[in-house]
A and B are shown apart, each in its own frame.
Chain A
């Protein structure tokens, strides 16, 4: 049985998992789009994005176009962590089936 400790605890939390998944699906996301797709409150989303940013998984770009906008993207380290996390999940599921 794979070791539970190998699961990245930063990603394993459901809300952060949702954020990481969406960020992995596209090049970058605006804050409002993430909020709408994940149905999370501003405060909740900001807190989780900050945690992911502090872990070095998410980059933040602030732009001022017609209005200020903050965009989020996975860093190389974040993408690697997400891929590793997926592999561990698959290992766990595979081991449980055997």
Chain B
């Protein structure tokens, strides 16, 4: 037996198994790319096609209709991205010969569920009460950032970085509003909210996709 070679091989197995057991990427790189481009497109559509409400509420709709006009396209985008993410995660699981609902996935989604549920409740409330779209965007940034960071113990660094970016954006955004700085009146809040979505959910995901693609994937380990 070649002891040093045996020892080196065992150390390699330990390292790869540890990585596989402790690292789970809940958001795949292709999904992030799709999410980034979709977010850019939806935000651009909202900026271009937005009709500011007039005093009568006939043109552009009531605050509630404005809120729905802002939120519903994003909920559809979320649903589409969810389907895409599920498809890529299933493909990755097949390639690793793992079940779709692997222990890593259950752990990751169990951690992410509370902040995502909290964000969903606030969104429904905003939709029901017709709140300012900028408030809704602030809530989304905060809870999405918290959801990503909740997986930080076993998530790769790029995903933790994405969570930090969202949380930082949410806190910066909240600080601006708390200090009473109004967004310049050249655009209505609806359009400003779309710009913020473009700069965060659009650009952040594209940057993350680039980092996630660069990350080396661990080779499969077979124990016999």
Chain A interfacial positions (CB closer than 8 Å to B)? 1, 4, 12, 14-15, 17-18, 21-22, 24-26, 29-30, 33, 36-40, 86, 88-90, 92-93, 95-96
Chain B interfacial positions (CB closer than 8 Å to A)? 3-4, 7-8, 10-11, 13-14, 17-18, 20-22, 97-99, 102-103, 221-224
Tell me whether A93 and B14 are in contact (CB under 8 A): no
Tell me whether B18 and A15 are in contact (CB under 8 A): no
Contact of A36 among B8, B10, B18, B99 (CB under 8 A): B99
With the chains together, A77 CA to B223 CA distance in Å? 24
Task: Report B16 CB to chain A, min CB distance, Å.
Answer: 9
Task: Report B34 CB to chain A, min CB distance, Å.
Answer: 28
Q: How many A-B residue pairs have CB under 8 A?
A: 69
With the chains together, A37 CA to B22 CA distance in Å? 12
Tell me whether B18 and A26 are in contact (CB under 8 A): no
Residues on A with C-beta less than 8 A from B10 are 12, 14, 17, 89
Tell me whether B223 and A14 are in contact (CB under 8 A): yes
25 contacts between A and B (CB under 8 A): A1-B3, A12-B10, A14-B10, A15-B223, A15-B224, A17-B14, A18-B13, A18-B221, A21-B18, A25-B17, A26-B22, A29-B103, A33-B103, A36-B99, A37-B17, A38-B223, A39-B97, A39-B222, A86-B14, A89-B10, A89-B11, A92-B3, A92-B4, A93-B4, A96-B4
